[in-house]
Amino acid sequence: MKNHQSLKKRNIQKAKTFKKVPLRSRFFPVISTLFFFGGIFLILAILFQVPKYFSKPIDKSKITIHGQEVLNKEIIINQMNISDHESWFSIDPFVISSRLRKHPWIDFALVHKKPDLGLEITITERRPIAYLKTKDNLFFLGNDYLVLNMIPSVKIWNLVVIVNSNLKGIKAGDFLPETEFSKPFRLIELLNGNQALPLNTVSEIIVDDPLNIKIVTMPDGVIVNFGFSDFDSKLTNLYFSLPRLKDERNRLDYIDLRHERGVIIKRKSG
């Protein structure tokens, strides 16, 4: 009897203890299990979908470009040389940057991948210092002696023309010899802002004869012989001759700065 009563008391105590356990605690193992398997399913779904997502061919409309003034978007994208089947994931920004820098007009290029599977490109274009007129063609000329091709552009360039009719077979991307072109480059530097002969009054710098660089002024077409050295002092002599040159302006044929005695003025005949 005592054993039966003792067993009955223990069963009653267990029932009371079970009633004290919150309902959410009893379902917690079930919920945890559901979350665990749900998380595994989600991870597997992502792992299967991500490769498909990133393997899509890159959408070239999502390529944004900053810094271009001369080159248009089509030229830049063609220079990137991305195939129609190449994916965003497989693109190496360093490789694309290297390809872009091979274009003569592009001095610097930086490529970033965007989270929307696009590309963001920043470029710095070269600045031409002059036109280059050769025996058979016309180019732009960079300040590092790099020949740049003429391309359609909305930008208007008011630049002097360096003429060398002895050059032939020149193409875009070639570097001209510094020994031959450092002197006309020096003249351009000196004439920029010069009072005696401002650069914006010069139409051509003729370097066919390396011993006598000639300048053609506009709008009168007067030829100024500079020789091949000592440009600073020759411009000084020209400055002090300005009053006389103004009086002779409409009758000038050429001006010769090569003589030690000073400026020689040749009037037009007739």
Domain extents in the chain: 2-41, 60-125, 128-267
Written as six digits, the tokens of 59 are: 């959408």
228 pLDDT exceeds 70? yes
CATH T-level assignment (fold) for domain 128-267: Rossmann fold (3.40.50)
Helix ranges, 55-193 (H): 73-80, 93-101, 178-191
Helices and strands: H and E segment counts in the chain: 7, 12
Q: What percent of the chain has pLDDT over 70?
A: 77
DSSP secondary structure letters along 71-96: S-HHHHHHHHT--TT-BTTT--HHHH
Q: Which residues contact 108 (CB under 8 A, 6 or more apart)?
A: 101, 123, 124
What is the distance, to the nearest Å, from the Cα of residue 153 to the centroid of all Cα atoms in its chain?
Answer: 14
pLDDT tens digits, one per residue of 95-124: 999 999 999 899 999 999 888 888 999 999
pLDDT reported for residue 35: 58
Threshold 0.75, pTM exceeds: no
The rounded distance, in Å, linking the Cα atoms of 49 and 63 is 24
pLDDT reported for residue 264: 84
What number does CATH give the domain 60-125? Answer: 3.10.20.310
Which one-letter amino acid corresponds to residue 47? L
